[in-house]
Amino acid sequence: MADVFRALDDETRRLLLDELVARDGQTLFELCTVLVTRHGLSSTRQAISQHLGVLEEAGLVVTERRGRTKIHHFRGEPLAAITRRWPTSEEDTP
């Protein structure tokens, strides 16, 4: 679970997850493009690839190969595990 918190601790990684939730199954090129156009974030492809690696290690992103291309997919199960560990209810709110 520590990997999930570490992965979420970076704004760029959170933006990558946001973009994968909005449109799942994107390539590195597509993700780099959307980060520049929507968020004004101009990181190198290598830097974005490293961020995706951290997200993959945390289990938040899975990849599939199509020829020489890697397709990235959002995986929400690690986030669901966090909410199961610390459930909230209406009674808990003041």
List, as one string, the DSSP characters of 34-69: HHHHHH-----HHHHHHHHHHHHHTTSEEEEEETTE
Q: How far apart are the C-alpha atoms of 82 and 48, rounded to whole Å?
A: 25
pLDDT confidence of residue 93: 55
Task: Decide if 48 contacts 31 (C-beta within 8 A).
Answer: yes
pLDDT per residue as tens, the chain (94 positions) = 779 999 999 999 999 999 999 999 999 999 999 999 999 998 999 999 999 999 999 999 999 999 999 999 999 999 988 888 887 765 555 5
Residue 70 backbone dihedrals phi, psi, to 5 degrees: -100, 130
pLDDT confidence of residue 90: 59
pTM: 0.86
Task: Decide if 36 contacts 42 (C-beta within 8 A).
Answer: yes
Closest CA to 64 of 13, 22, 26: 26
